[in-house]
A and B are shown apart, each in its own frame.
Chain A
Amino acid sequence: MKTTEHIDIRCPRTLAEALRLQADERTRGTLLAGGTDLMVQWASGVPTPVRATSVWNLPEISAIEVCADCLEIGAGVTHAFLVDCTQVHRHLPALAAAAATVGAAQIQARGTLGGNAANASPAGDTAPALLVTGGSVVLASVSGTREVPLDRFWTAYRRIDARPDEIIVAFRLPKKGKAQERFRKIGTRRAQAISKVMAASRILVEKGRIQSVAIALGSIAPTPVRLSEVEALLAGQKPTPALIDEAEKLAQASVRPIADIRSTAEYRRWASGRLVRAALENL
């Protein structure tokens, strides 16, 4: 069904132009990047907006900049670009792994990191990998830019900390340095799947102890979440089998997943702990 034809889609050529459109209520539109979420929603009966503003292919937000201790990834960078980028593989391997599990080749070619974050689905594949970096989102409007830490960015189910006139322009993501990153997604099948549970982790072990730890889960709460209780348990400890057992159990106790068409609450709860275990074993 041609549900999208009547949408007034503005397709600015520059970020400045897009920001100007969004600044004025009369020209502001739903932000549309690669369309891999929104076009699907609109095709499946979610009410369509009157106006949309395309942020696809804006040169200012389509690059990856490698800084001394972080990567600044433009919001318009596609998953395919992330998968192919050696810098991302080296410094943010969980994100590279996560991007490779988004849909399949066709979706990766169009879906963007900014779009995945803005869509704010609890099952957004890149969100846990973003969260464990401890990085931030850069938002822009005509009045300037603002940086929001990722762990405060997803405020509620499908809600983000962004004003209507703002556009996500980049992600500032600290490199992993000597830490290890892991990512694991349990999906409904081996590809082209929405996750049932997924986990990303960034853990630094030095002198036999966990010096820093970040573990994040997706699809088990209204938003992607960091497991702060589990992190607190682990910080400064030796990653012994007993500690890993405890972390697995604590993770299972601390999540409140729901049942839906893809999985059960019981399985998600159990698998949350199992993925925490996978993040900790053989560090």
Chain B
Amino acid sequence: MSIVKRTWTVNGTSVAIRAPAGRRLLDLLREDLGLIGSKESCGEGECGACTVIIDDEPVVSCLVPVGQLPDGTDILTIEGIEKKRAGRLLRQAYVECGAVQCGFCIPGMVVGSYALLRKNPRPSAQAIRAGLAGNLCRCTGYAKIIAAVKLAAARLAGRRK
């Protein structure tokens, strides 16, 4: 086992890490940093419930060993999404549109939606479907999730004008 020391930015705050290089980022976030919003469901990168954003890219944190993330890595989790305007708009839209049922996929889904809007601020319904295809939901049939992302995108665009 090799222990690594790193300094990252997690949700905008500088955080010093000391952990086995092979520790999964998901475990580190949940257990060491107490960021329990990222969920584990499949543990093999299929469901997206543990999605976080690393250096502007959405990733499944269950497949990332912490050793691979160098000093200066910027990590955004559901807990940090609230600090972003797009994140707040997404959260509100999810609630308003009835996109939340059991909720277990939702933090990963919101983070995935945030990453999607960063790349494509006015996505079509098809682009939303494709962009969120890595986030499985068993409750909603995705319809209200897609509506929520559209609503948040529209509000985001509206405020920017």
Contacts and interface: CB of A to CB of B under 8 A. Distances in A.
A34 B62 CA distance: 12
A217 B49 CA distance: 33
Interface in B11-69: 20-24, 27, 43-46, 48, 51, 54, 57-60, 62-65, 67-68
Interface in A4-38: 4-11, 13, 32, 34-36
A62 to B, nearest CB: 13
Contacts of B68: 9, 11, 32, 35, 54, 56-57
A44 B43 CA distance: 9
A66 interface: no
Given A39-B63, A40-B63, A109 B58 contact: yes
Main secondary structure of the interface of B (DSSP, over half): mixed
Interface string B81-95: 000000000000000
Contacts of B45: 36, 39-40, 103, 106-107
Interface string A100-118: 0001111101100000000
B46 A7 contact: no
B22 A6 contact: yes
B70 A32 contact: no
B134 interface: yes
Contacts of B137: none
A43 B46 contact: no
Given A5-B23, A43-B62, A56-B68, A106 B134 contact: yes
B67 A54 contact: yes
A5 B112 contact: no
- Size bin of chain B's contact surface: 35 or more
B2 A8 contact: yes
A80 B55 CA distance: 13
Contact of B60 (A10, A52, A106): A106
A32 B133 CA distance: 25
B145 interface: no
B116 interface: yes
Given A9-B2, A104-B133, A105-B112, A110 B23 contact: no
Nearest to A9: B21
Interface string B104-124: 000000001001100000000
Given A106-B112, A192-B134, A57 B1 contact: no
Contacts of B48: 104, 106
Contacts of A163: none
B153 to A, nearest CB: 16
B65 A103 contact: no
Given A36-B45, A54-B68, A106-B60, A191 B2 contact: no
B1 A105 contact: no
B134 A9 contact: no
B22 A40 contact: no
A105 B44 CA distance: 15
B2 to A, nearest CB: 5
Nearest to B134: A104
Given A57-B70, A103-B134, A104-B134, A43 B44 contact: yes
A1 interface: yes
Q: 4 tightest A-B contacts by CB?
A: A104-B134, A191-B133, A9-B21, A109-B57
Interface of B: 1-2, 4, 20-24, 27, 43-46, 48, 51, 54, 57-60, 62-65, 67-68, 70, 112, 115-116, 130-136
Given A4-B65, A10-B67, A11-B21, 16 more contacts: A2-B24, A4-B22, A5-B23, A6-B1, A6-B22, A7-B65, A8-B22, A9-B2, A9-B68, A10-B21, A40-B63, A104-B48, A104-B134, A105-B58, A106-B48, A109-B59
